[in-house]
Amino acid sequence: MGVFAELEANMTRQRTREGITARQQNEAYHHGPAPLGFEKDDGELIEDGDYHDVVATLEIVQKDELSKRKAAKRLECSRSTIGRALERSELYGL
């Protein structure tokens, strides 16, 4: 019975990963909060008022001229948010 339970758990994890990947490839952004510097409007991402400040700060961090900690303090967010933004650099044109 344990083998079947483990197999089912593995299959569930795989289906979850596939579902997340499929949703991320969708043009409309309906999952989770909007990324740093963006707002959501009916599933579409639109630039927030501080978008250009976010992009400028991320560029400085990417050049290793500013730490993630200082960038997070400047943008009033967490270091992990800065890390996620850098992972999604295509949103910011980096």
pTM equals 0.63
pLDDT at 2 (0 to 100): 85
Which segments of the chain does DSSP mark as H helices, in order?
Answer: 2-25, 51-62, 68-75, 79-87
φ and ψ of 72, to 5 deg: -65, -40
Percent over 90 (pLDDT), the chain: 41
Average confidence score pLDDT of the chain: 86
* 85/79 Cα distance (integer angstroms): 10
**Number of Cβ within a 10 Å radius of residue 92:** 21
pLDDT at 30 over 70: no
Of the two residues 54 and 24, the one the predictor is more confident about is 54
pLDDT at 29 (0 to 100): 54
